[in-house]
Amino acid sequence: MLRGPCRLFRVSVAPVAALAVALVSSLSRCSLLEPENRVVSPLSPYFGTKTRYEDANPGLLPDPEAPRRDPQLLEETCTPVQLVALIRHGTRYPTTKQIRKLRQLHGLLQARGPGDDRIRAAGGGDLGAVLANWPLWYADWMDGQLVEKGRQDMRQLALRLASLFPVLFSRENCGRLQLVTSSKHRCMDSGAAFLQGLWQHYHPGLPPPDVADMECGPPRINDKLMRFFDHCEKFLTQVERNATALYHVEAFKTGPEMQNILKKVAGILQVPVNNLNADLIQVAFFTCSFDLAIKGVKSPWCDVFDIDDAKVLEYLNDLKQYWKRGYGYTINSQSSCTLFQDIFQHLDKAVEQKQRRPSRNPPMLCIRHIM
């Protein structure tokens, strides 16, 4: 699961390395189904962070607990001094906002009158009728909470890391683990599941105790570090609370690419096009991904869109992230400086201590669950 080049810090006392691993991905995609029984969709590559993890990283399918070692990180070539991992939460439910939009769209389908069934009368399929009868099982209480599959994601991630870096994740070193999370329930639950995975590694076959009673200790909440954007007044003023900050996103929603999809979907579902908007179309698209990730089911929502539609909707999501979290505004990256400073301070301290006392400093583990 560790891919791409890793920066190694060499010191004169021995060939040691301080390793930073940034795992900013959904990490929510380890299938509960056997590979030969997996349900797939050609739309999966376009779901962004809602893509099932095994769809983006098929190497996990044979054994989601087996580590994949980068050839540059062979045990004979370097000694890990510290591991810093920035990890996104596991598979989650849709948010309440998304669920209410889906309910609104479902209501439009159920409100179609008999006169809207002309496709079926002509002998064609009526996908709108199929979707009107498709169970809407999402409820407001779910509100982005971690699902059981998301807990499994985190347990398996812990097992992979512990196998990949056995010295770092030894029981003797467990007390040096620093697991920091935001106050979001899906992040706290992800941290707890990660610790359960470590317990499984240390005590195979034994049921894990309460997280507070584990030898590694419970996760520590630090929103200023992990939700830095919520604590940066300049970001809140210039971007989050600025009604014009996402002007380009709103312009794209009303542009020709999105309008073509609106007309197409309105025709497929047999609902008035003026009852649809880009937000409803996007939540319908993501419902395909949620059903795949949470239940391993390819719902009829997946049949509403083709690859060209998926590319446009992926661009819409990327455009929003560009202006709200990416390079669109300088403050977006500046607001994360506190977190990056924390990461590199830990790395610098590890190298400094190893240079000063090469045999007296046990490894350090710093795990952060973000968003």
Question: Among all residues, which ones are annotated catalytic?
Answer: 89
Cβ contact 368:25 at 8 Å: no
Give bridge partners of residue 19 from the DSSP assignment.
Answer: 83
DSSP for 126-185? -HHHHHHTS-----GGGTTPBPHHHHHHHHHHHHHHHHH-TTTT-GGGGGGEEEEE-S-H
Helix ranges (H only) for 291-336 are 307-324, 330-334
Mention every residue, 6+ apart, whose C-beta is less than 8 A from residue 270. Answer: 112, 116, 117, 118, 119, 126, 128
- The DSSP call for residue 266 is H
Taking the alpha carbons of 303, 306, 309, 315 in that order, is the dihedral positive or negative? positive
Give the C-alpha separation, 342 to 55, whole Å. Answer: 32
- Contacts of residues 121-126 at CB distance under 8 Å and 24 or more positions apart, as own/partner, are 126/270
- Measured in degrees and rounded to the nearest 5, phi and psi for residue 300 equal -60, -20
Give the C-alpha separation, 351 to 332, whole Å. Answer: 30
Give the C-alpha separation, 151 to 146, whole Å. Answer: 7
